[in-house]
Every structure is written in structure tokens, then in C-alpha cells.
Amino acid sequence: MKTQYEYPFYKSERGIDKSDKAIESEWNELEWFVMKSKILPQIKPGGCVVEVGGGHGRCGHTLLASFQRIIFIEPDQRRINVAKNKLSNYGGRIEYRSELAQEVNIPARTADAVFCIHVLQHVSRNVENTLLARMSDWVKPGGQLVLFVTKKNPGDYDYNIAWETETETHFSAIPEEVLSKIEGVFLKDTLLVRKVEVGKLIDRVEKQGFKHILSHAYTFAPKNILEKLWSRLLFPLPISIQHKVTSKLFGEHSQLDVALVFEKKL
């Protein structure tokens, strides 16, 4: 039986503009810079791409520029309805699957590529292992796997936990031993972000038959402060320059997220 799922923060998404013009605005500027300048140049165009956790369809236009069709996996039907509205011009090129990715039945060697963007950090390690095995099964030899995750830096707690009030979203970092003691009633309306140790994740993916091609860390922790200071005191700082400056000055451990590209071995 299909597991029912609803994204806990859907309430704050009700006002999202559903026009084509607004699709890319749902991802921050830096994330699109990384996707377009670092990740997509590594991707070989093909027939079918599987998108795990497609959300509102933010990547649909971009992926369909390189692939003939998408298998679009998103367990929250409300979000699929928004994606269908945004991507209605593509008709039969998108197959929508309102299921948890670990429960989706896709024939082996169906996909030329799989994109799994900011999904693994929201599931347990056991579910991650299941997902990695399934995604490996879906990808053709020579095909590619793209992962975006929140990375664990030295000294970080294991999890961030996020919850909403009427006016804003709150975040708190907590260690795993504390998380295990929190009542399930409290957790049901929160979004957990599991910090991922990138080196260990690469090892787990490679054990599924992939070769690691690229890692690119991004998102400087106090970037919003930097943006405001530069904008007010000097001039607006282009995102590409901001990314280079913070990476050079503060190093990889100042970066909160990482994008990874793998290729399935022949």
C-alpha cells in the first residue's frame, strides 16, 4: 500500500507564484549558479531523467532542455499539483509519481540520469541506503547521479531541526542523542535536516557501482550578512564573485551544502 506523505512546511508555500517566470526564484540565486555553471556542464543529454523529490517543478524546464522526458517523483500530491500547473506546456514528457522514492517501482536501467536534490538529508540512514540502491538500479551504465546535500563540517551537530510559527521559520542544531529523546508528537510538524559526512557518502555511493566525478561545496554560512553589508556600504556583489571570495577566504568548511556528480560504471 502506498505511504501517504505531506510536506510539513506546505503552509508557508501557499503563496508561491505559479507562473513560469517565478519557477527559478524558488531556488536561491547561488544554488542556480552552482547548478548551471558547475553541475549541468558535467551532464550528458539523454532520453530519460528521474527527479527524486521534484517538489513544485523548479528544475523541470532546465532538465527538459537536456532530456526527452522526466519521471517526476514527489510524495506530496499538493506539490505535484503545483508542478503540473507550472509545467503544463510539456504534456506527455513528464510522468508524475506521487510516491515515496524508496517505494517507487521503476524498471532497471531506465534512466540516463537521476537528480536527487536536497532529499537525502531529510531521511534516515536506513532509507538513504535503500534510495542509493534503487537509484543505482535505475541508472543505465554510463549514466549519471546528481546529489545535493547539507554537509557536516567539523564540530557540527548531527541535525538541524526546523519548525514554523505564524510569522517565521525557526532553526536549531541538535545532537543525535537529543533527537532520539524527543517525542514523536513534536517531530511530526518539523523538518529534520541530517548533516551528511560527504566523504562517507561518496564511499557509500561508490559501493553502489558509481565513480565519483565532481564535488562542489557552496553556501557560505553568514552569506545574508555579507550580501547586506556589500549592498549597503559598497555595491551589490554578484553571486559568482561572492561564492569565489567566501570559498577562498574561509575554505571548504565555511560552506554548508555540497553538490555531487557520479557516473555509473560500465
The DSSP bridge pattern shows strands 111-117 and 139-150 to be parallel
Alpha-carbon span 241 to 225, nearest angstrom: 15
Contact 110, 50 (CB under 8 A): yes
Strand partners, 203: none
Lowest-pLDDT range, 104-108, 150-154, 223-227?
223-227
- pLDDT single digits (tens) 17-72: 433 333 344 456 678 888 988 999 999 999 999 999 998 898 999 999 999 999 99
What is the predicted pLDDT for the residue at 234? 54
What is the predicted pLDDT for the residue at 209? 97
| pLDDT band (50, 70, 90) for residue 171 | low
Q: Thinking of the domain 10-152+195-264, which architecture would CATH place it in?
A: 3-Layer(aba) Sandwich (3.40)
| pLDDT band (50, 70, 90) for residue 103 | very high
Check pLDDT > 70 for residue 91.
yes
User: pTM, whole model, 2 decimals?
Assistant: 0.82
Boundaries of every domain in the chain: 10-152+195-264, 157-192
Does residue 6 or residue 234 have the better pLDDT? Answer: 6
Nearest to 2 by CA among 105, 83, 156, 85: 105
Mean pLDDT over residues 212-241, rounded? 62
